[in-house]
Structure 1
């Protein structure tokens, strides 16, 4: 500013606070200066994103104060795949609700606390926030089942429960099952005969997150390699629809 030797910083100041700082700086040169500060353009603020277990993952241009619960509602609400946790990554440059000595901060929120109306679980969302409604870890089942696709992991999920979640086996199933499981960077295969489990001769298999289950069909050979790649499902957040909150 003209005549003012020291810079005045606007980051994390309100219009009124910045106006008062400018007024103090010029009071050395002008008697009772009248200062008004107005924000005229917010288009350069970083985009916030909400993704994960919401119905409509969305990019957000935030132009007014808004809280987490409102953002979730704008994203269509939660899906059944939620793990019960929300993680917010906040950059130092993204907003003013962070210790400026840090590069970024992570805020972990329990969805139960949010639903119970706890203020601490419903923070103000800043431009640039990355809001992940954390999904429960998935498995994948395919082959001779009624509904091939993703199944979401829960503690103590067994093989027979996973098959039931997929609608059960089809008439073309031969009873043999292959479980592809990654351990320490390598893929391990577990071969199971469903008939021995049902007869009580073998203990039901406890599944792990990211297991891939193939229910073999009659006359078909088992896969030699992992037939599904969870990494390929990752979405490009930059391609999500953009919504303006004003």
Structure 2
């Protein structure tokens, strides 16, 4: 009987040793195991802007760790540092700026992370059923944005839209089978025009 138990343990150890690398490879390949990219749309690097809500973590410094909203002036008010420029920066660049401000003066070798809790909204108007301001979600396409606003009205020109990104001029985006997918960014304004018979 003890010999049978010993053989069973040996077999179990061999099975686990064989299965472990496969399980580790599977876990590494799974989406949950990969870190989220610092991006908002289709792999593009996301630049922070007014209205974004952030979680700033300074390890072992609870006085600074917390939730922050970027002001209309594009800054974040960080305790001990005051206003830190955030507009146009990536989360990593903002973390680096906070680290530089704290290092040596207030905190020795600070470790900082910045993550986006919620993005600034996008806007859609014109010939949609529910025009207005909507919460942004990463990888939102133009067609999905129209669906979020209740879809087109019966008067809508469905083959084109007018898109204005923050700080840019309005551009015409055309729809069709061969058209590329257009991604919406936080802060974008979309206008759906009226069709003419």
Range of TM-score over shorter length? 0.3 to 0.5
**What is the TM-score with the length of structure 1 in the denominator?**
0.38
Greater C-alpha Rg:
1
**What is the TM-score with the length of structure 2 in the denominator?**
0.46
